[in-house]
């Protein structure tokens, strides 16, 4: 699951992320971008049966990374698909730099993290390529160098997830957070119902709708897809915490 990053904030041959379109200063624009990074891993947890584009509402656009995220070890290209997450940095040229790292297994939940060192090179490695995205509204994408990555600023990544399990704040209508109800667009909750930015200025509400039943797998008691269906429509609703206003809605 991807984090929100610096509140002050899935695999494939064409990686997609969501970017806001308003002409905010870099710091404020980044808030909405980073909190929507969680959309990528959430979307993959309940995949749509169609190839339709995401439905967007609000100051948001789509960026497609043009090349596969790859990792070559000993002349062998490996798939990087086990508990992956974005790591993001800010360049001095007014761009955001994106990398993918494997090995996010839940140990960061509830924490704020500045750096992500590789501790087990055979497992929790970064993919070899990095991409830079402009924040000028055009969202141009280019491949970034390792030197640019190393020189870039490291923003705080936040993993302030709100869980659904035995949580009375996750109601049938939405999630209660800081004394306010933030409504969900989908019918059901997944394991995570919301993700807040580090300084709690933004919150994204995560829900889904599906007619499919959970995939119970081959072994009784060990569902292949957990308690959630494998296909359906997922919804992401981004709110401004201070006003309670919905800023962005995304579904796929």
The pLDDT tens digits of the residues spanning 160-178 come to: 889 898 999 999 999 999 9
pLDDT value at 240 more than 80: yes
Could you list the residue range(s) of the whole structural domain that residue 46 is in? Answer: 4-160
Residues 69 and 167 in one domain: no
Rounded to a whole number of angstroms, the distance between the first and last alpha carbons of the chain is: 17
Q: Where among 135, 160, 185 does a domain terminate?
A: 160
Distance CA 10, CA 98 (A): 13
Q: Which position has the token pair 């984090």? A: 3
Residues in the chain: 252
- Domain stop point among 160, 176, 205: 160
pLDDT in tens, 149-162: 999 999 888 788 89
More confident residue, 60 or 136: 136
Q: Is the pLDDT of residue 142 over 90?
A: yes
Buried b (16+ CB within 10 A) or exposed e, 69-88: bebeeeeeeeebeeebbbbb
Which residues are within 8 A (CB) of 88 and not within 5 positions of it... i.e. 6 or more apart? 5, 34, 37, 96, 97, 98, 99, 155, 157
Instruction: List CB contacts of 219: < 8 A, sequence separation 6 or more.
Output: none
- Within this chain, do residues 232 and 142 fall inside the same structural domain, yes or no? no
- Cα-based angle 80, 217, 159 (whole degrees, multiple of 5): 45
CB 67 within 8 A of CB 127: no
69-126: pLDDT as tens digits? 778 888 888 767 778 888 999 998 889 999 989 888 778 877 888 888 888 888 888 9
Based on the fold, state whether residues 19 and 105 are members of the same structural domain.
Answer: yes
Better pLDDT: 42 or 252: 252
Domain count, the chain: 2
Together in a domain, 150 and 238:
no
- Separation of alpha carbons 116 and 100, rounded Å: 11
């Amino acid at each position: 699951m991807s984090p929100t990053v610096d509140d002050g904030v899935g695999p494939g041959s064409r990686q997609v992320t969501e970017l806001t379109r308003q002409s905010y200063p870099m710091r404020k624009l980044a808030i909405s971008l980073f909190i929507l990074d969680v959309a990528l891993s959430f979307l993959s947890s309940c995949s749509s049966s169609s190839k339709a584009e995401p439905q967007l509402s609000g100051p948001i656009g789509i960026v497609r990374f043009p090349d596969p995220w790859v990792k070559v070890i000993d002349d062998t290209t490996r798939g990087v698909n086990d508990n992956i997450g974005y790591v993001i940095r800010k360049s001095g040229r007014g761009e955001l730099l994106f990398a993918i790292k494997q090995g996010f297994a839940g140990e960061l939940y509830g924490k704020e993290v500045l750096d992500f060192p590789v501790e087990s090179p055979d497992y929790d490695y970064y993919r070899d390529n990095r991409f830079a995205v402009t924040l000028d509204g055009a969202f141009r994408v280019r491949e970034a160098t390792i030197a640019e990555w190393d020189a870039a600023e490291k923003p705080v990544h936040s993993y302030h997830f709100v869980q659904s399990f035995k949580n009375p704040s996750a109601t049938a209508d939405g999630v209660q957070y800081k004394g306010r109800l933030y409504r969900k667009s989908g019918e059901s909750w997944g394991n995570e119902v919301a993700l807040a930015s580090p300084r709690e200025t933004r919150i994204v509400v995560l829900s889904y709708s599906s007619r499919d039943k959970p995939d119970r797998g081959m072994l009784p008691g060990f569902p292949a897809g957990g308690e959630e269906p494998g296909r359906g429509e997922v919804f992401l609703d981004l709110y401004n915490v201070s006003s309670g206003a919905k800023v962005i809605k995304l579904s796929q």
